[in-house]
Structure 1
Amino acid sequence: MIQVLLVIYLVAALGVIGLVLIQQGKGADMGASFGAGASNTVFGASGSGNFLTRMTAFFAIAFFAISLILGNMYTQKGESQWVDPSLGQTVEQVQDAASGIPAEKADEIPQ
């Protein structure tokens, strides 16, 4: 379930990024009102703006909703990904390259 939500979350994030990047700014409206590129749009002169705005809003709402759902799911989850400091740590023994004796034991051996 979490993997499916993560995939949808990623698609929503990429959708918001892509739709914001392809939208024209407010300064482009003046040139478009004189016919510059308005006839080439699939949705008409103002239809593409409404479509892109609505799709951006849809992806943004989906992004925030899934963010809240995933946050709630990870909070309610009993097991944690992080190490509990009260349990202690396991230390990996590293051998000294010259003698082949573990590094922790090397100080105890008289030379």
Structure 2
Amino acid sequence: MVYEVLLVAYLVVALLLIGFVLIQQGKGADMGASFGSGGSNTVFGSTGSGNFMTRTTGILAGLFFFISLTLGAMTANRESAEDEWNNLEVPAAVETPVEIPADQDVPVIEGAAESDVPAVESSDVPKAQDENIPD
């Protein structure tokens, strides 16, 4: 139960972190202001105390790493389901086929009388075409 809750929280924190990083304005964005507008104190942009966006990004990043480590520890201690391919030294159960005696290569239908089986007449059997094959 805790694992599933952490997975959902992990997903939400990751999406929020991505969103906050994409919304923020980069430090290099104010660089053009230093070459004529005068709105920046340095070449790489003005840096002051962290505003709401940078603090929120830091907190979300900390949560992301903490939840990542927690989920990793929980997954490492989990026992996985036993797979039949794990132990390949033990042979698989082999089914032995049912042996049919050699004299009974044609299946016999129980309850069928011999009169139900049509008789083969000699005129139905084709003659051999080659003279080397005996009749």
- Alignment TM-score, normalising by the size of structure 1: 0.57
Question: Judging changes above 3 Å, is the alpha-carbon distance between structure 1 residues 22 and 67 closer, same or farther for their aligned structure 2 residues?
Answer: same
Question: Judging changes above 3 Å, is the alpha-carbon distance between structure 1 residues 19 and 64 closer, same or farther for their aligned structure 2 residues?
Answer: same
Q: Which residue pairs with 1:60 in the alignment?
A: 61
C-alpha distance in structure 1 between counterparts of 2:51 and 2:20, whole Å: 12
C-alpha distance in structure 2 between counterparts of 1:11 and 1:21, whole Å: 16
Q: Which runs of 4+ in 1 moved over 2 A?
A: 27-34, 81-84
C-alpha distance in structure 1 between counterparts of 2:76 and 2:64, whole Å: 18
The residue type paired with residue 22 of structure 1 is: I
C-alpha distance in structure 1 between counterparts of 2:67 and 2:86, whole Å: 31
Q: Give the greater-gyration-radius structure (CA).
A: 2
- Alignment TM-score, normalising by the size of structure 2: 0.48
C-alpha distance in structure 2 between counterparts of 1:81 and 1:18, whole Å: 37
Unaligned regions of 5+ residues in structure 1, if any?
35-45, 91-104, 106-111
Q: Which residue pairs with 1:86 in the alignment?
A: 87
SS in 2 for 1:21: helix
Q: Give % identity.
A: 51
RMSD of aligned residue pairs (Cα, Å): 3.2
| Bigger proportion of residues as helix | 1
How many residues get paired? Answer: 79
SS in 1 for 2:10: helix
C-alpha distance in structure 1 between counterparts of 2:3 and 2:58, whole Å: 23
Higher relative contact order (CA 8 A, sep 6+): 1
Unaligned regions of 5+ residues in structure 2, if any?
40-47, 98-135
C-alpha distance in structure 2 between counterparts of 1:33 and 1:81, whole Å: 65
